[in-house]
């Protein structure tokens, strides 16, 4: 029987915080499926989940998740100085730092991640639509981009693996 890998505190915390903010691995896997189904006719959800799990196991991804969620929470609690408080709280369109943080995740699996990320960020399907709902009272300025980036990276990972098997 294979020995189960012990999760680091960073990974454990990143996964816990995602869950506490209403994001599950399945939600991200649904986005991966959305991005890849037209390119892989035999795509299985288990493959999408596996690729999300692998992306979440990367230290740089965990760091981006922890940083982004912490900034969102601080904005919710109004713990930031102006003008940053208002900028993050309303998710100002020209802010862009949330996307820059997401790019650190997208970069993990190559340039195809950028196109996947841009596409999914524009359409905002699935959980991304929920995270962008400002009426919830929650601030997800960073989280929506992080979730989209994890999905884009997992989608890129899946595409690279599929290409290598052809």
Sequence-distant (6+) residues with CB within 8 A of 40 are 158, 162
User: pTM to 2 decimals?
Assistant: 0.94
Q: Write out residues in the chain with pLDDT < 70, as ranges.
A: 1-4, 163-166
Q: Residue 165 has what pLDDT?
A: 55
- Kindly state the greatest CA–CA separation across the chain: 55
Q: Residue 1 has what pLDDT?
A: 47
Contact criterion met (CB below 8 Å) for 25 and 52: yes
Within-domain flag for 29: yes
Within-domain flag for 35: yes
Within-domain flag for 62: yes
Structural domain of residue 81, as residue ranges? Answer: 24-165
Within-domain flag for 14: no
Within-domain flag for 7: no
Sequence-distant (6+) residues with CB within 8 A of 118 are none
CATH number at residue 140: 1.10.3760.10
Within-domain flag for 13: no
Per-residue pLDDT of 107-137, as tens digits, reads: 888 888 999 999 999 999 999 999 999 888 8
Within-domain flag for 60: yes
Rounded distance between C-alpha atoms, residue 152 and residue 31, angstroms: 8
Within-domain flag for 11: no
How many domains would you assign to the chain? 1
């Amino acid at each position: 029987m294979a020995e189960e890998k012990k999760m680091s505190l960073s990974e454990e915390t990143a996964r816990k915080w995602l869950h506490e903010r209403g994001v599950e691995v399945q939600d991200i896997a649904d986005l991966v499926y959305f991005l890849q189904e037209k390119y892989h006719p035999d795509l299985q959800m288990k493959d999408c989940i596996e690729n999300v799990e692998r992306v979440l196991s990367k230290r740089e991804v965990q760091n981006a998740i922890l940083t982004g969620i912490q900034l969102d929470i601080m904005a919710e609690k109004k713990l930031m100085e102006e003008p940053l408080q208002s900028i993050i709280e309303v998710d100002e369109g020209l802010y862009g730092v949330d996307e820059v943080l997401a790019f650190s995740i997208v970069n993990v699996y190559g340039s195809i991640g950028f196109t996947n990320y841009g596409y999914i960020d524009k359409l905002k399907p699935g959980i991304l639509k929920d995270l962008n709902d400002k009426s919830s009272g929650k601030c997800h300025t960073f989280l929506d981009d992080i979730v989209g980036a994890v999905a884009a990276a997992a989608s890129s990972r899946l595409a690279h693996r599929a290409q290598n098997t052809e």
